[in-house]
Amino acid sequence: MGNCFRKNLQDPNQPDGVNEFKVSHQQNVSVSLQVMNLSVPSNKQKGVDEIQISHPPKKSKSPLQEMNSPVPSFAQTEKLWQEEIYGEYGVSKMNMKDEVVHAYICKCFCYDILKEATNKFSKKNLLGEGGFGDVYKGWIDYCTMSAAKPGAGTPIAVKRLRKEGAQGCEEWLNELTFLGKLSHPNVVKLTGHCCEGNHRILVYEFMAKGSLEAHLSREGKTELNWSRRIKIAVESARGLEYLHNAVRPVIHRDLKSSNILLDSGFNAKLSDFGLAKLGPQGDKTHISTRTLGTPGYFAPEYIGTGHLTFKTDVYSFGVVLLEILSGLSAVKIHSNGVARDLAKWARPYLSNKQEVINRVIDKRLGNDFQMEEAYEFAEIILPCLASSPKSRPTMTEVVHALEQLEKKVLKKKNNKQITVSKEHKTSIQIEQYKRSNRFCLVCNRIQSCDRM
């Protein structure tokens, strides 16, 4: 069964979702790391919870891209990943308990179990194609840690790494590491992984409504009414704010509508952390890195200099908000081959209320919004798309502004529902009164009509 182990390593006394635990003995840490195929340098001092990482000289090309093996071993990937992720930032110390935490909260699956759970990775189970792998729907019985029949057990999303090259393995480990440490209602939950032979697989909670992009790109009637769009914007912003304000802040680096997933209640969660990076620390203002991501969401300074900051994410999120408002994609290729950048096209209109209504807002919304609300949403988007990073707000400021807008939308929605409810109740009372008083509909009189 390969590297499968069925025993849950999480402390039974610790609630689900908790990603902090105490390490009382160095021996326990060593065992956990052996399960993950990681290695711990020997240390004779007791109570030491930090390890030093030495970094080789920085290379212009990712070391994983230079490997001959199409799918490097877990140990190879982990070693080179440390150089790629930590070396660029000058971070020389890592907390040991952070490095082994996913051995406790992230289950390790056998390849055969995941293969059976997805009906041999059937095309009928294909949910979508990610940056480095395809995503399939499957079913797992978490009590027995075995595959379940379709419709039984717990539905899961299984992302399988393609075998074309080594770059995907770097992203696979990157996502495993980051999602193994992150716990927030608006960040998708990683429930397991597989590292067996050449197979690299990640297992997530299943998001029944798919991606935000899929809903926005559908023609005709949409399930995304105005209040749902504002809700999705608020929850996505909260997820990104959590990343930026974490103890060890994270830059998502590939924020886009296809990486925002929706559950059955249209609750939004950020996904796909394959390109995520630790944010600058200390007196550093940015991270110098390769320009990776998706066209249409790139901040101008990131394209020009390769400087990555939290404000890079803010720009990308501004584009997502613009997609939510307009229902248009970040980049559209016209029939003549010319590409239209949504942010550049819409920016001049966002400061004009009439232009927002006439040109920008999604026509599928009809009259399902207030003009003032739409313009306030546009006012939140505009500074996020500022050319200068210093002119963009923080995600905390964005969250606050969106929450205020959501309160107004919900208040008007509730008032409307109350009014409709009162009108309905009044009509019922009139009918009851007519029946109880023998009201004649012909003569419009009570009781005294001869026709009664």
Task: Give the separation between CA 159 and CA 271, rounded to whole angstroms.
Answer: 12
Asked if residue 7 is part of any domain, the answer here is no
Last residue of a domain, one of 180, 205, 230: 205
**Domain final position from 142, 175, 205:** 205
Whether residues 186 and 231 fall in one domain? no
Of 160, 196, 144, 201, nearest to 2 by C-alpha is 196
221 located within any domain? yes
- Highest average pLDDT, of 15-29, 112-126, 428-442, comes from 112-126
Whether residue 449 lies inside any domain: the answer is: no
Among 205, 231, 259, the domain-final residue is 205
Give me the DSSP letters along 95-111.
Answer: EHHHHHTHHHHSEEPPH
* Helix, strand, or coil (residue 84): helix
**When comparing pLDDT for 32 and 230, which is higher?**
230
C-beta of residue 312 within 8 angstroms of C-beta of residue 291: no
The answer on pLDDT for 53 being more than 80 is no
Domain presence at residue 10: no
| pLDDT at residue number 220 | 84
In terms of Cα–Cα distance, which of 373, 255, 293 is closest to 325? 373
Q: 303 or 166, which is more confident?
A: 303
Whether residues 247 and 229 fall in one domain:
yes
Instruction: Flag whether 435 is in a domain.
Output: no
pLDDT band at residue 79, thresholds of 50, 70 and 90? low
List the one residue out of 397, 234, 394 whose CA is nearest residue 309: 394
Q: For residue 320, which phi and psi values (nearest 5 degrees)?
A: -60, -45
Average confidence score pLDDT of the chain:
78
Range 97-126 average pLDDT: 77
Mean per-residue pLDDT, 91-120: 65
Q: Which of 71-85, 164-178, 312-326 has the lowest mean pLDDT?
A: 71-85
Q: Same domain for 337 and 290? A: yes
> Same domain, yes or no, for 114 and 152?
yes
Q: Within a domain: residue 424?
A: no
* Catalytic residue set: 254
Task: Name the token pair of 247.
Answer: 């103890």
- Those residues whose C-beta lies under 8 Å from the C-beta of residue 38, and which sit 6 or more positions away, are 75, 78, 99, 100
**How is residue 297 written in tokens?**
């969401």
Q: According to the model, what pLDDT value does residue 142 have?
A: 86
In a domain, 415, yes or no: no
Task: Say whether pLDDT at 407 is over 90.
Answer: yes
Query: Do residues 99 and 118 both lie within one domain?
Result: yes
Q: Across residues 133-151, what is the average pLDDT? A: 92
pLDDT of 146: 92
Instruction: State how far the alpha carbon of 259 is from the alpha carbons of 187, 238, 252, 256, 358, in Å.
Output: 10, 15, 10, 5, 29
Q: Cα(67)–Cα(58) distance, rounded to whole angstroms?
A: 16
Report pLDDT for 336. 81
CATH assignment of the domain containing 403:
1.10.510.10
CA 378, CA 325: separation in Å to the nearest integer? Answer: 8
179 and 226 in one domain?
no
- The pLDDT, as a whole number, for residue 46 is 39
Residue 259 forms part of a structural domain: yes
349 versus 421: which is more confidently predicted?
349
Q: Are residues 218 and 179 in the same domain?
A: no
196 with 216, same domain: the answer is no
Query: What is the reported pLDDT for 61?
Result: 47
What single-letter DSSP state applies at residue 136? E
> Do 243 and 341 fall into the same domain?
yes
pLDDT of residue 70: 52
Alpha-carbon distance 232 to 227, whole Å?
9
Least confident of 11-20, 173-182, 334-343: 11-20
CATH number for the domain spanning 88: value is 3.30.200.20
Same domain, 51 and 114: yes
Q: Are residues 164 and 306 in the same domain?
A: no
Residue 82 and residue 155 in one domain: yes
Structural domain for 244, as ranges: 211-409
pLDDT of residue 65 exceeding 50, the answer is no
Mean pLDDT lowest among 86-90, 105-109, 184-188, 204-208: 86-90
* Res 162: pLDDT: 81
Number of domains composing the chain:
2
